[in-house]
Amino acid sequence: MQTIYYDLRNIKGQQREVEEKISAAAKILREGGLVGIPTETVYGLGANGLDSEAVNRIFQAKGRPQDNPLILHLSGAQWLPRYCADIPPIAYVLARKFWPGPLTMILKRKPIVPDETTAGLDTVGVRCPNHPVTLAIIREAGVPIAAPSANASGRPSCTSAQDVLEDMNGKIDGVVDGGSCSVGVESTILDLTVTPPRLLRPGGLSLEALEQLIGHIDVDAAVTRSMKEGEQPRAPGMKYRHYAPKAPVTVVTGAPKASAQEIAARVHLGDGVICFDEFAHLFPEQTVQCIGHSSDKLTQAQRVFEALRSFDNSEVKEIYAQCPDEHGLGLAVGNRLKKAAGFHVIEADRMRVVLGITGCTGAGKSTALEVLEELGGVVIDCDKVYHQMLAEDENMRNAINAAFPGVFQADGKLNRQKLGQEVFSRKDRLEKLNQIVYTYLPPEVERRVAAMDADLFAIDAINLLESGLDRLCDRTVAVTAPTELRVRRIMARDNITEQYARLRISAQNSDEYYRSKCDCELNNGSELPETFRKEAHIFFEKLLDTIRQEKRGKIV
């Protein structure tokens, strides 16, 4: 069979020629033939959806399993009652907002739709594609067009007419070239025969956009994981290994930087890598496919299938792919990558480093923390967290109130002076208070670390070691300085007498205490603040390197 190529990339201008090509394609379809057609998502392999013999040819050409139903492509919502029964009003709400566009709705079917199209199900998938050429062809054909993605079964979907020819040349009657697909991943499939509606396949329309219009949507398990034995996804097609290049694929999830580093630590010479643009330089000895910047999910969607396909023309033995997060189009891009990997997924360790910084007044803790901030760290000031908790944390407040009745005023505010009087004169009472704080503070700090999107944290606490906060840290760092220097610094900083400065220092733990209990020491023996800043910079850079290397070693 010869596959006729219709070039309709440019539909402005030669009106007659365009119309002729559209009529020719529509005629093939009406007469039971197969035509590759462009849509905004991926190319489809179209046939008359009401003609069971034509539909059978689709399954043959693709090598598609018979139990996998096809989507009917309509010219608009006005066609819904012809093919669907019991249509809920919400279907029209969705169609008004999102059609033409990348949304497929599963509805009850009418008997006019043959079993071949629905694979014997009593439901049918319908969508109105957003591509002027294909809309014109459907209108001209006057029948709904059944169209799966135009790839050979199991291969990555086609996002250009060239891809279609690669898989289907000689097996189908024609291909209509409408340019490359603007969305790049298939339509989102939403089952409207159940309540609440259920997402069967993430796609070109985001879950968030759908939920904004119609409220909560359940997500089918097949979207995020592989099916267990005997388990049936509701979209039959979701159970097949799919989109797979010939070489095995490993998907790495996690923050972009972390997943890039994770891949960099694993790849060998000659492997394939699918990565975000900004990390390409990490893979000089690999075959790299960039799918866009990590923040540009539309470009990722447009490029993901082409990237997967490209490796079949190369010698790569293994492929690693960075996975976007699940927001917006990321859910669909990630789903396609994971399916291509047969759900072989590795979670990149966040590679988070948590440092505990402690030491006496005047030693230079603040400068050390500023340096860590310059290095991208988030500083958690535990004194501040403690005061916030005194005001807001019900559990800690209750515990304090039980131990020191009357320290909270009628308006709920803590009378700090009163609490101070209670504990400062009596050691046992201070210990009691500390015990309470040390119970509630570390978990709260831990929660804050987990909730923040950063790779480096500095926990700033004078009682880091006593409170148990040190257990959250990869390393504890004692900032120390000669006593005479500290005396002078405190005098200048707090504008106090030498005698008072010495008194304050003697009331605190000694450098020796911190030195012996912390993992490492940053000594500030310099008269010049700028010198210490530079020293601290070098010290922390080296420390972070060591810790990150250790962590990487552990993952592999």
Chain contacts with ligand TXA (rule: CB under 6 A): 39, 41-42, 44, 68-71, 102, 104, 106, 118, 121, 123-125, 129, 147-149, 186-187, 189, 200-201, 234-238
Question: From the CB of 169, what's the least distance to ligand TXA, in Å?
Answer: 18
Minimum gap (Å) between residue 353 Cβ and ligand TXA = 43
Nearer to ligand TXA, 234 or 303 (CB): 234
Amino acid in position 91:
A
Report the SS3 class of residue 253.
Answer: strand
Is the CB of residue 104 less than 8 Å from the CB of residue 187? Answer: yes
Nearest to 5 by CA among 233, 165, 240, 204: 165
The residue whose Cβ lies closest to ligand TXA is 237
CB of 241 to ligand TXA, least distance (A): 13
Integer Cα distance of 152 and 243 in angstroms: 10
Stretch that binds Mg ion, among 45-53, 149-157, 255-263, 430-438 (CB under 5 A): 149-157
- Provide the minimum distance between the beta carbon of 260 and ligand TXA in the complex, in angstroms, as a whole number: 30
Structure token digits, residue 69: 């139903």
| Distance in angstroms (rounded) separating the CA atoms of residues 312 and 291 | 17
- The partner in contact with residue 147, picked from ligand TXA, Mg ion, none with C-beta cut-offs of 5 to 8 angstroms by kind, is ligand TXA
Closest distance of CB 157 from Mg ion, Å: 6
For ligand TXA, the closer of residues 189 and 407 by Cβ is 189
CA dist., res. 57 & res. 50, Å (int): 13
Answer with the entry of ligand TXA, Mg ion, none that 206 interacts with (C-beta below 5 to 8 A by kind).
none
Shortest CB 231 distance to ligand TXA, Å: 15
Query: How many chain residues bind Mg ion (CB under 5 A)?
Result: 1
Determine contact, residues 288/278, Cβ cutoff 8 Å.
no
Quick one: 47 or 345, whose CB is closer to ligand TXA? 47
Under 8 Å CB-to-CB from 421, ≥6 apart: which residues?
none
Question: What's the rounded Cα separation, in Å, for the pair 439 and 437?
Answer: 5
Q: Alpha carbon of 349 to those of 198, 262, 355, 548, 555: distances in Å?
A: 32, 8, 17, 11, 8
125-133, 141-149, 201-209, 503-511 -> range binding Mg ion (CB under 5 A): 141-149
Name the token pair of 519.
């993992």
Kindly state whether residue 206 participates in binding Mg ion, applying the rule CB under 5 A.
no
φ, ψ for residue 46, nearest 5 deg: -90, 150
**Binding region for Mg ion (CB under 5 A) out of 144-152, 343-351, 430-438, 510-518:** 144-152
Which residues have a Cβ under 8 Å from the Cβ of 145 and sit 6 or more positions away? 29, 37, 44, 46, 47, 48, 49, 72, 73, 134, 137, 138
Per-position DSSP letters for 19-34, written without gaps between them: HHHHHHHHHHHHTT--
Residue 189 binding result from ligand TXA, Mg ion, none, given CB thresholds of 5 to 8 Å by partner type:
ligand TXA
Comparing CA positions, the residue from 154, 212, 202 lying closest to residue 301 is 202
CB-closest chain residue to Mg ion: 149
Q: Cβ closer to Mg ion: 149 or 476?
A: 149
Identify which of residues 149 and 261 has a Cβ nearer to Mg ion in the complex: 149
| Binding flags for Mg ion, 95-134, as an x/- string (CB under 5 A) | ----------------------------------------
Q: Taking each helix axis from N to C terminus, what angle separates 330-340 and 297-310, rounded to the nearest 10 degrees?
A: 20
118 binds, among Mg ion, ligand TXA, none (CB under 5 to 8 A by kind): ligand TXA
Least separation, in Å, of the C-beta of 259 and ligand TXA?
27
CB of 62 to ligand TXA, least distance (A): 9
To ligand TXA, the closest distance from the beta carbon of 144 in angstroms equals: 12
**Residue choice 41, 48, 130, 149 for contact with Mg ion (CB under 5 A):** 149
Minimum distance, C-beta of residue 384 to ligand TXA, in the bound complex (Å): 51
Compute the distance between CA of residue 423 and CA of residue 429 in angstroms, rounded to an integer. 5
Cβ proximity to ligand TXA, 37 vs 400, nearer residue: 37
Residue 408 DSSP class: B
Q: Does residue 196 have a cis peptide bond before it, meaning omega lies within 30 degrees of 0? A: yes
Contact 301, 332 (CB under 8 A): yes
What does 100 bind: Mg ion, ligand TXA, none (CB cut-off 5 to 8 Å by kind)?
none
Q: Which is nearer to ligand TXA, 181 or 543 (CB)?
A: 181
C-beta closer to Mg ion: residue 188 or 467: 188
| Strand intervals (E) in 297-403 | 319-322, 345-347, 353-359, 378-381
The residues of the shown chain that bind Mg ion, judged by CB under 5 A, are: 149
